Amino acid sequence: MSFIKYAPECHFSYQNLPYGVFSTAANDTRRIGVAIGDQILDLSVVKHLFTGPILAKNQHVFEKSLLNDFMDMGRSAWKEARQTLQKILSEAEGVLRDDANLRKSAFVNQSEATMHLPVRIGDYTDFYSSKNHAFNVGSMFRGPENALMPNWTHMPVGYHGRSSSVVVSGTPIRRPNGQTRPDDTKPPVFGPCKLMDIELEMAFICGSRSTHGDPIPISKTEDHIFGMVLMNDWSARDIQKWEYVPLGPFLGKNLGTTISPWIVSMEALEPFKLPNTLQDPTPLSYLQHNDSYNFNINLEVSLKCEELPNPATIIKSNFKYQYWTMKQQLAHHTVTGCNINSGDLMGSGTISGETEDSFGSMLELCWAGKKTTDLGNGVTRKFLKDGDEVNITGFCAGDGYVVGFGECTGKILPAHQM
């Protein structure tokens, strides 16, 4: 346990220690921090305490304004840093606990901090790895007998998104304008999106880079996966519907992608591993691994709107519903020799469970507009209205503690008049 006290349900336990980047009104310099309880430990202040064989000569990585340099050092450095953090934050260790001046300068209350993107995201890929979601969407438009495309159970399908419009939690999202074709018998029209949606996702952040031309074998993928965040892949469904043939998502997806500010390390998630989803047919050899790399992460989406006094929960799901693992996603992504860089973002795709209340998008909840979602007090939704605020939370439940991700929020602003 730690000398920093917090409630058992706190997302940022001693067993978690996620990484983020923050600033304060008193000091607008962006710096790397670790969350514990309601506090942030400023690593630029305590960098001298990282005296292990790898980090002793690389303490400068904790003076940076982003996590990329630290992550690029590799898995051994990540493990060493976690060991040091757990040592200096332990209730049995006095180096930080008993130094009043150091404690005063090293800790910042989270309520006083502004959070920023924790990494420089050079590239962003979004997968489509929930079988339930793929089946649901396919059934809407092609019928259940043709719901899954022939390639879906053979490889983790994905597309390349826009890293420039990835934003940190709390950033408002502007309703986009674009071309749509609401009536298939008439020409397309231009105007604000009318079918604004969310996608409940998670994502992993790539740590150490790989070499161009060299695939990452699935046995080595774990060396390149630093940690995970919550993600909302905002989607303009009417724009997407008109544009996606033949090259897939474009303007329907590039309006914004929100991630949570805290990166939970894979070491913190280790106790919550689950067996992988049974895959039929058996994947090709380069996608095969026997070790468990699925995770029991509880996910919840709430919607705050002007008509209701309190947010309404609209989705309860779990990351365990993924069909393809993160190892398989990364092995497939790089099998051509495509290299990854530190900070690359890899989205899971929409995470949908087996029951209606666990469907990970409003498209599924309203079944392409045929139903409404009841928010209570007579308020309903099919898709998002201006002013609606979406909040995603996620956590793993341990024995007397929680490893949580905090929040991933965004509020819809009206479209620009054009």
pLDDT tens readout for residues 76-115? 999 999 999 999 999 999 999 999 999 999 999 999 999 9
14 found inside a domain: no
Cα 364 to Cα 135: distance, rounded to the nearest angstrom: 10
Q: Tell me how many degrees the CA angle 111-114-119 measures, rounded to the nearest 5.
A: 130
C-beta of residue 153 within 8 angstroms of C-beta of residue 283:
no
CATH number at residue 249: 3.90.850.10
pLDDT tens readout for residues 149-172? 999 999 999 999 999 999 999 999
375 found inside a domain: yes
For residue 188, give the amino acid letter.
Answer: P
* Those residues with Cβ within 8 angstroms of residue 160's Cβ, 6 or more apart along the chain or in another chain: 123, 124, 125
Residues of the chain above pLDDT 70, percent: 100
Residue 69: name the closest of 103, 105, 44, 41 by CA. 44
> Do residues 276 and 399 share a domain?
yes
The predicted pLDDT at position 417 comes to 97
321 is in an annotated binding site: no
> Do residues 274 and 352 share a domain?
yes
382 is in an annotated binding site: no
The predicted pLDDT at position 411 comes to 98
Q: Which residues of the chain have pLDDT under 50?
A: none
**Distance set, CA 156 to CA 256, 324, 339 (Å):** 23, 6, 17
> Do residues 131 and 155 share a domain?
yes
**Distance set, CA 385 to CA 175, 291, 361, 379 (Å):** 9, 43, 15, 12
Residue 305: name the closest of 369, 355, 200, 378 by CA. 378
Question: Residue 200 has which token pair?
Answer: 């409940």
2 found inside a domain: no
The predicted pLDDT at position 359 comes to 98
The predicted pLDDT at position 277 comes to 98
128 is in an annotated binding site: yes
> Do residues 105 and 137 share a domain?
no
244 is in an annotated binding site: yes
4 found inside a domain: no
C-beta of residue 410 within 8 angstroms of C-beta of residue 259:
no
343 found inside a domain: yes
Domain boundary at 116, 144, 168, which?
116
> Do residues 170 and 57 share a domain?
no
Question: Cα-flanking dihedrals φ and ψ of residue 117, to 5°?
Answer: -55, 130
> Do residues 227 and 163 share a domain?
yes
CATH number at residue 78: 2.30.30.230
State in Å, rounded, how far the first CA of the chain is from the last one.
Answer: 56
> Do residues 131 and 90 share a domain?
no
Quick one: 268 exposed, middle or buried, by C-beta within 10 A (0-12, 13-18, 19+)? buried
For residue 93, give the amino acid letter.
Answer: E
The predicted pLDDT at position 50 comes to 98
> Do residues 225 and 313 share a domain?
yes
**Distance set, CA 273 to CA 102, 133, 250, 277, 320 (Å):** 36, 22, 34, 12, 9
199 is in an annotated binding site: yes
> What is the domain count for the chain?
2
Cα 31 to Cα 25: distance, rounded to the nearest angstrom: 13
> Do residues 175 and 287 share a domain?
yes
Question: Residue 19 has which token pair?
Answer: 């990484």
240 is in an annotated binding site: yes
User: Is 133 one of the annotated active-site residues of the chain?
Assistant: yes
Q: Which of 11, 48, 60, 133 is catalytic?
A: 133
C-beta of residue 180 within 8 angstroms of C-beta of residue 239:
yes
Quick one: 224 exposed, middle or buried, by C-beta within 10 A (0-12, 13-18, 19+)? buried
124 is in an annotated binding site: no
42 is in an annotated binding site: no
> Do residues 185 and 72 share a domain?
no
10 found inside a domain: no
C-beta of residue 228 within 8 angstroms of C-beta of residue 299:
no
Across the chain, mean pLDDT equals: 98
Domain boundary at 116, 151, 173, which?
116
201 found inside a domain: yes
Question: Cα-flanking dihedrals φ and ψ of residue 396, to 5°?
Answer: -110, 135
C-beta of residue 292 within 8 angstroms of C-beta of residue 326:
no
The predicted pLDDT at position 369 comes to 96
> Do residues 72 and 156 share a domain?
no
1 found inside a domain: no
pLDDT tens readout for residues 175-226? 999 999 999 999 999 999 999 999 999 999 999 999 999 999 999 999 999 9
Question: Residue 409 has which token pair?
Answer: 């929020």
142 is in an annotated binding site: yes
Residue 85's domain comprises 19-116
C-beta of residue 361 within 8 angstroms of C-beta of residue 200:
yes
Domain boundary at 116, 142, 158, which?
116
Question: Residue 134 has which token pair?
Answer: 């793929």
C-beta of residue 389 within 8 angstroms of C-beta of residue 410:
yes
> Do residues 72 and 177 share a domain?
no
Question: Residue 133 has which token pair?
Answer: 């979601």
